[in-house]
Structure 1
Amino acid sequence: MEETNNYKAHIVVLPYHGQGHLNPMLQFSKRLSSKGIKITLATTLSNTKSIQEDASLFASIDFESIYDDLTHGGVAAPGGFKGFLDRFEAVGSRNLIDLIKRIQDSSDGNNCVKCLIYDANISWASNVANEVGNIAMGAFFTQSCAFVAQCYPMHCDLFGVSPSMGPLASIFDLPELHIPNLPSLGAETGCYPPIIRYILRQFDNCEKADWILFNSFHHLEEEVINWMSKIWPVRPIGPTLPSIYLDNRVKDDNNYGFNIHKPNTETCMKWLDSKKTRSVIYISFGSAASLNADQISEIANALLQSKNSFLWVVKPSEEDKLPAHFKDRIKNCFYSDKGLVVKWAPQLAVLRHGSIGCFVSHCGWNSTMEAISLGVGVVAMPQFLDQMTNAYFVEHIWHVGINPKTDENGCCARDEIHRCIEEIMHGERGEVIKKNVARWKALAKEAIDEGGSSDKCIDEIIARLCS
């Protein structure tokens, strides 16, 4: 571990293990580092090894493993997802305490650990901070403010406490949450499924945190942030994108971080370079969502029906679900000049490319923020949980996309997908959406610019740690 004598303060960052959780906190860490803060990021051994393959891109950050998932098992080990979470808490909490104490013992008084910033999903981290003592805490939520606020009344109901504020639904006519078929997290007891009870644990010990951090910006969720700020010390510090896509203040910062699959960068960019401005449909459902064969077939046929070219990310686990007539027309990942199908894409570079006309997305929060920050209209096809809330805001609050109708099984038909794509690419509503995404793109950049709302939140945190 390198000497920290020239740093203003030292922060330990603890992200959740998944790609969609790790990358926003990694980007936030780079932003803090650019302002003179020493960062040690604690995660699983597999994540540490993957990230350090590109160590030169993260030279300002130390990576420390607090759980050896390669030996003791990840989510595929005995006990499944719940077993992994239990092991990670038992082993990771001890090792995190040892890590912080080791840093404290080896540091001078000015450069000891001043703060632990942890993913709110890892609620036990607040107990670690209390045990090591005398350090600040920041709980980092990787979902939208709106979704977290939507869950808050359920948290109060589960623990039998009166909400400090009325339900968010009284402000927005929010849709019901769809519960996916995810790995079991325990017995089906009580009024909430295990996955919801697990999500509600994010609120554990929030009242002890010095800051509640969100990958969002004030203008984007102003009404919700104002609502939540009456309960907690909310600080929107987003968008957490590499600096090259926003303000260019962090030198050579163009790498997002961790990818679950290796992106086909050269192939994607060369193919996009051959396309006309705003002529390509980009389709990706992120790292976690898994579409069934019927939905993949409907998307495939909608793309063949469209006159526009398409770039479609189909994960290895979903390739067998592509319809035969579609696969027959793909050669070497290409469907003639019309389409390109890849296992993974460099999403930020793709969304920034001038040939992209719309983004067919599951509306995970990272993808939603990226589309807004880079000015791309969205065909919103949410699959579960926070994606439903994000899609609602995309269409009804921010007016940057369209949410296609689904049948009683939650499947969206090819004609409906095609209609929404055509509306954004060529219709009158699409012109309105283009104006709106341009406005939000400017506001996203303004938030993180020097003196912007998010930048001020970051500076406030640093000033307190250095006082």
Structure 2
Amino acid sequence: MEEKIYRAAHVLVIPYPRQGHINPALQLAKRLASKGLKTTIAITKFIFKTIQPQPPSSLQFETISDGFDERGRFAEAVSVHDYLQKMEAAGSKTLAELITKYKNSSNPIDCIVYDTFLPWALEVAKQFGLLGAAFFTQTCAVNYIYYLVYNGLLKVPVSSTAAPVSITGLPLLEPQDLPSFVYVAGEYPDYFEMLLGQFSNTDKADFLLVNTFYELEDEVVNTMHKICPALLTVGPTIPSFYLDNRIENDKDYDLDLLKTDKTICIDWLNARPKGSVVYVSFGSISSLSHKQMEELAWGLKQTDFHFLWVVRDSEDLKLPKGFIEETTNKGLIVKWSPQLAVLSNEALGCFFSHAGWNSTIEALSLAVPMVVMPLWTDQPTDAKLVQDVWKVGIRVVVEENGIVTRDEIEKCVRKVIVGEKAREMKLNAEKWRKLAIEAVSEGGSSDKNIDEFVSKLGTTSYKYY
């Protein structure tokens, strides 16, 4: 006689193999595991071999191939297009093998949660009759703009002389407020194709999960939900320690591709007065010109505030001659930083950022006002929201030559830290932090959505013996 034995549903989470995508995917996985799901993260063989990660006790790691197992994509891929093609071929094959490996076990995979940069993962899931959940790591606003472009409802490129663009659920957007791929014709076509490709098969997905929270983007979430009813906001996906503290020992992202000595930054910050430090970081990809690095450096010096500046190895030769020596008493330059620990430190006065979404939602979640200097992709739209919708910061003004001057940098930093609207921005930031905490706390908007996701998976979470 067959017996029905209930088990936890098994979710396989597949991030796009870049730090800015791995972090939110890993944190979403932790949230799902905290709800009782069996949760596995599939990272590339090269990343696993390189960092030998130790998973949190609630998760387990598996590997798939992106086609570049020996030296990684940057050493082996000849172009972005080459990388994406090879990853789809190798990833599809090894993902199918991984699903098959678990198929006859006591914990077969029930659902694939995949980064939307990897639409082929959904095709593999459906071949095996599994549920598929697309995970968007950018704002709902940016996702909706790309959705409109993909479906021919917003023509690109939008001319620099065009009137403000009206999109339901969003403020009026000047052309320069749109994602750079929409505003600048032909910029990085392979990346643009990948971004639009997020929507190539989302009609087949059972869930669309977005790394935002409802209260932050309610109007555009409502708008997009009408055409994508499977959409669920599940963010902010940052370690629980910094929000609701409901997940035990969840203080870090736990999968850092760039290592740092955390004590250097924190010890330095702890020796600075409250609200006195400008934290400067442009993420793991963005690159500044030599001229812009020079203007930023001397602009920071002109503020006379303390500063903590993340300058990657690929950027440090762009620092102007004599700058480090002249700012020894005011600044600390590091290769990488424990960003959440930095943002939560009382010494911080503002975050000078590129307005990448991970950095932005971390700052919002930790009540840190911002100066934003967007460079490309989704960052101009994020910057528009930071300044004009959430009102937690200032966007720098760019000269006709594409450079932000040292005087502009000094002026913006001063406005955010000691200007007449500095207190208002800080109060707005504290409001968004409170709402972020409420969203992930028990019964909050994101928590309810995660519960809904888990509940729907639960209808398939049994096995006959």
Tell whether the structures are fold-level matches, with TM greater than 0.5.
yes
Of 51, 61, 73, 1:63 maps to 61
Contact 1:9 1:466 in 2 (8 A): yes
Q: Deviations over 1:331-370 (max 9, x none)?
A: xxxx433110000000000000000010000010000000
Contact 1:376 1:437 in 2 (8 A): yes
Of 234, 243, 246, 2:243 maps to 246
Q: Deviations over 1:180-210 (max 9, x none)?
A: 9x9xxxxx99x99343222100001111111
Q: Which residue of 2 aligns with 1:458?
A: 450
CA distance in 2, matches of 1:159, 1:415: 37
Structure 1 residues 7, 156: CA separation in 2 closer, same or farther (over 3 Å shift)?
A: same
Q: Does structure 1 residue 154 correspond to structure 2 residue 156?
A: no
Q: CA deviation at 1:76?
A: 2.9
CA distance in 1, matches of 2:379, 2:89: 31
Contact 1:279 1:356 in 2 (8 A): yes
SS of corresponding position for 2:226: coil
SS of corresponding position for 1:70: coil
Of 85, 110, 115, 1:114 maps to 110
Q: Deviations over 1:102-130 (max 9, x none)?
A: 111112xxx42111110001011111011
Q: How many residues align?
A: 440
Q: Which residue of 1 aligns with 2:52?
A: 52
SS of corresponding position for 1:252: coil
Q: Which residue of 1 aligns with 2:179?
A: 177
Of 368, 373, 392, 2:365 maps to 373
For 1:176, the aligned partner's letter is: L
SS of corresponding position for 1:173: coil
For 1:283, the aligned partner's letter is: V
Q: CA deviation at 1:77?
A: 1.2
For 1:80, the aligned partner's letter is: S
CA distance in 1, matches of 2:240, 2:7: 21
Q: CA deviation at 1:7?
A: 5.2
CA distance in 1, matches of 2:167, 2:313: 39
Contact 1:213 1:236 in 2 (8 A): yes
SS of corresponding position for 1:238: coil
CA distance in 1, matches of 2:6, 2:69: 35
Q: Which residue of 1 aligns with 2:433?
A: 441
Contact 2:181 2:188 in 1 (8 A): no
CA distance in 1, matches of 2:144, 2:430: 27
Q: Which residue of 1 aligns with 2:14?
A: 14
After TM superposition, list the pairs within 5 Å mapping 1:4-403 onto structure 2. Answer: 8-50=8-50, 52-53=52-53, 55=54, 57-67=55-65, 69-71=68-70, 73-107=72-106, 111-133=107-129, 135-157=130-152, 168=167, 171-174=170-173, 175-179=177-181, 193-232=189-228, 233-329=230-326, 335-403=327-395
Contact 2:148 2:154 in 1 (8 A): no
Contact 1:75 1:84 in 2 (8 A): no
Contact 1:150 1:169 in 2 (8 A): no
SS of corresponding position for 1:103: helix
Q: Deviations over 1:229-249 (max 9, x none)?
A: 011111010000111001111
Q: Deviations over 1:254-300 (max 9, x none)?
A: 11133332123111011000011111000000001111111111111
Alpha carbon RMSD of aligned pairs, Å? Answer: 2.3
Greater shift in the superposed pair: 235-244 or 299-308: 299-308
For 1:150, the aligned partner's letter is: I
CA distance in 2, matches of 1:349, 1:159: 40
Contact 2:46 2:70 in 1 (8 A): no
After TM superposition, list the pairs within 5 Å mapping 1:413-424 onto structure 2. Answer: 413-424=405-416
CA distance in 1, matches of 2:180, 2:450: 34
Contact 1:75 1:81 in 2 (8 A): no
CA distance in 2, matches of 1:194, 1:12: 27
Q: CA deviation at 1:158?
A: 9.0
SS of corresponding position for 1:83: helix
CA distance in 2, matches of 1:192, 1:307: 38
CA distance in 2, matches of 1:432, 1:65: 47
Q: Deviations over 1:353-403 (max 9, x none)?
A: 000010000010000000000000000100001001000000000000000
Give aligned-pair identity as a percent. 43
For 1:252, the aligned partner's letter is: N
Structure with more contact order per residue of length (Cα contacts < 8 Å, sep ≥ 6): 2
SS of corresponding position for 1:388: helix
CA distance in 2, matches of 1:78, 1:325: 37
CA distance in 2, matches of 1:142, 1:409: 31
Structure 1: tracts of 5 or more residues without a match: 161-165, 183-187, 330-334
CA distance in 1, matches of 2:128, 2:347: 51
TM-score by length of 2: 0.90
For 2:135, the aligned partner's letter is: F
Contact 2:133 2:205 in 1 (8 A): yes
